[in-house]
Amino acid sequence: MRVTNLLPDVQYQMQQSQQALATANQQLSTGLRVNQLSDDPAASANMVVSLAASASVDQYTSNVSSVLPRMQTADSAMSAIVTSLNSAITLGTSGASSSSVTANKQSIATQVQSILSSVISQANTSYNGVYVFGGSESTTPPFVAASTTYTSSQGSVANPLAATTALTAGSVTSISDATTGKTMTFKAQAGDTVATLQQAIASAAVAGTLSAGTTATINAKGQLSIATTNASQGIVVTSNDTSLGAMAADPNTAVANSYAYVGNSTVNSVQVGDSLNVATNIPGNQLLTSGANVIGSLTNLIAALQNGTESQIGTATNAVSSALNYVSQQRIPLDSTISQLNSQESYLSQEKITLTTQQTSLVGISLSTAATNVSQAQLTNSAVLAAAAKVLPQTLLDYLR
Amino acid sequence: MSLNTSLSIAVQSLNAAAGALQATNNNIANANTPGYTREVPILQASAPSTVGNNLSVGDGVDLVRYQSVRDELLQSQIQQETSSQSGANAQLSSLQQIQTVFTTSAQDIGTEMSALFTSISTLSTNPSSSSSRQAVLSAGQNLANAFNTVSKTLTAQQSGLNTQVTQDVSQINQLTKQIAALNPQITALKATGQDGGTLQDQQNQLVLSLSKLTTVSVVQSNDGITLTTGNGTPLVVGSKSYSLQTSTGSDGMTHVLDQSGADITSSLTGGNLGGSIQTRDTAISGMLTKLDTLANQFGSAMNAAQAAGYDQNGNAGQDFFTVSGTVTGSAATIKMAITDPTLVAASSDGSAGSNGNLSKLSAVQTTALASGQTPGNAYASLVYQVGSLTSNANAESTATTSSLNQLNDQLSSVSGVSIDEESANLIQYQQAYQAAARVVSVIQQLFSVTMSMGTAAAS
pLDDT at A98: 65
In this complex, the residue of B96, B351, B409 whose CB is nearest that of residue A9 is: B409
Q: Tell me the pLDDT tens digit for each residue of B219-239.
A: 988 888 999 998 889 999 999
Same domain, B47 and B192: no
B121 with A59: Cβ contact below 8 A: yes
A138 with B128: Cβ contact below 8 A: yes
Identify the residue among B38, B114, B389 best suited for mutation to test binding to A, counting A beta carbons within 10 A and taking the highest. Answer: B114
Same domain, B261 and B288: yes
B351 with A170: Cβ contact below 8 A: no
B269 contacts B232 by C-beta, under 8 angstroms: no
B121 with A187: Cβ contact below 8 A: no
- Domain spans of chain A? 143-262
Query: To the nearest whole number, what is the mean pLDDT of chain B?
Result: 91
pLDDT at A7: 87
Is residue B413 in some structural domain?
no
Sign of the C-alpha dihedral computed for residues B97, B102, B105 and B109 taken in this order: positive
Is residue B176 in some structural domain?
yes
B122 with A59: Cβ contact below 8 A: yes
Looking at the structure of chain B, the number of domains it has is 2
Query: Which residues have a Cβ under 8 Å from the Cβ of A55 and sit 6 or more positions away?
Result: B111, B114, B115, B117, B118
A271 with B384: Cβ contact below 8 A: no
Same domain, B335 and B217: yes
Distances (CA, A) of A290 to A178, A236, B77: 11, 17, 90
pLDDT at B59: 85
A52 with B408: Cβ contact below 8 A: no
B423 with A55: Cβ contact below 8 A: no
Q: How much is the ipTM here?
A: 0.84
Q: What is the dihedral of CA B299, B304, B309, B315, to 10 degrees?
A: 80
Contacts of A52 in chain B (CB under 8 A): 110, 113-114, 365, 376
CA distance B238 to B225: 7
- DSSP per-residue letters across B50-100: EETTTEEE---EEEEEEEE---HHHHHHHHHHHHHHHHHHHHHHHHHHHHG
pLDDT at A128: 85
B124 with A268: Cβ contact below 8 A: yes
CATH number belonging to domain A143-262: 3.30.70
Tell me the pTM: 0.85
Integer distance in angstroms from the first to the last C-alpha of chain B?
A: 29
pLDDT at B382: 93
pLDDT at B1: 58
pLDDT at A100: 67
Q: Tell me the pLDDT tens digit for each residue of A133-147.
A: 988 877 889 999 999
Same domain, B204 and B114: yes
Same domain, B136 and B177: yes
Could you tell me how many residues make up chain B? 459
CA distance A44 to B100: 12
Contacts of B362 in chain A (CB under 8 A): 271
CA distance B43 to B60: 10
Gap from A3 CA to chain B (nearest CA, Å) = 5
Residue type present at position B11: V
CA distance A105 to A77: 28
Same domain, B62 and B157: no
Same domain, B346 and B376: yes
**Is the pLDDT at B459 greater than 80, yes or no?**
no
Distances (CA, A) of A141 to A126, A281, B457: 8, 14, 153
A136 with B347: Cβ contact below 8 A: yes
Is residue B242 in some structural domain?
yes
Gap from A153 CA to chain B (nearest CA, Å) = 23
Contacts of A62 in chain B (CB under 8 A): 121-122
pLDDT mean over B27-54 = 88
Report the residue of chain B nearest A55, measured CA to CA.
B114
Is residue B398 in some structural domain?
yes
Contacts within 8 Å (CB) and 24+ apart, B447-451: B447/B3, B450/B3
**Is the pLDDT at B458 greater than 50, yes or no?**
no
A68 contacts A269 by C-beta, under 8 angstroms: no
Same domain, B295 and B386: yes
pLDDT mean over B77-85 = 94
Sign of the C-alpha dihedral computed for residues A365, A369, A371 and A376 taken in this order: negative
pLDDT band at residue B15 under the 50/70/90 scheme: very high
CA distance A14 to A19: 8
Same domain, B90 and B21: no
B154 contacts B329 by C-beta, under 8 angstroms: no
- For chain A, which residues score pLDDT lower than 70? 98, 100, 291
| B459 vs B165 pLDDT, higher one | B165
CA distance B445 to B434: 16
Identify the residue among B102, B121, B129 best suited for mutation to test binding to A, counting A beta carbons within 10 A and taking the highest. Answer: B121
Closest CA to A317 of A107, A308, A261, A290: A308
Closest CA to B122 of A344, A58, A336: A58
Q: Tell me the pLDDT tens digit for each residue of A61-90.
A: 999 999 999 999 999 999 999 999 999 999
Same domain, B218 and B109: yes
Q: Tell me the pLDDT tens digit for each residue of B355-400.
A: 999 999 999 999 999 889 999 999 999 999 999 999 999 999 999 9
Domain that holds residue B46: 3-69+420-458
pLDDT at B182: 94
**Is the pLDDT at B168 greater than 70, yes or no?**
yes
A152 contacts A223 by C-beta, under 8 angstroms: yes
Gap from A23 CA to chain B (nearest CA, Å) = 14
Same domain, B50 and B181: no
Q: Tell me the pLDDT tens digit for each residue of B288-344.
A: 999 999 999 999 999 999 999 999 888 899 999 999 999 999 999 999 999 999 999
- DSSP per-residue letters across B294-338: HHHHHHHHHHHHHHTSB-TTSPBPPPSEE--SSSTTHHHH-EES-
Same domain, B287 and B315: yes
CA distance B333 to B147: 9
pLDDT band at residue B158 under the 50/70/90 scheme: very high
Q: Tell me the pLDDT tens digit for each residue of B177-219.
A: 999 999 999 999 888 878 778 899 999 999 999 999 999 999 9
Query: Which residues have a Cβ under 8 Å from the Cβ of A356 and sit 6 or more positions away?
Result: A54
pLDDT at B341: 93
Contacts of A65 in chain B (CB under 8 A): none
B36 contacts B30 by C-beta, under 8 angstroms: yes
Is residue B26 in some structural domain?
yes
Gap from A272 CA to chain B (nearest CA, Å) = 9
Report the residue of chain B nearest A172, measured CA to CA.
B314
B208 contacts B270 by C-beta, under 8 angstroms: no
A188 contacts A168 by C-beta, under 8 angstroms: yes
Is residue B159 in some structural domain?
yes
- DSSP per-residue letters across A324-361: HHHHHHHHHHHHHHHHHHHHHHHHHHHHHHHHHHHHHH
B104 with A4: Cβ contact below 8 A: no
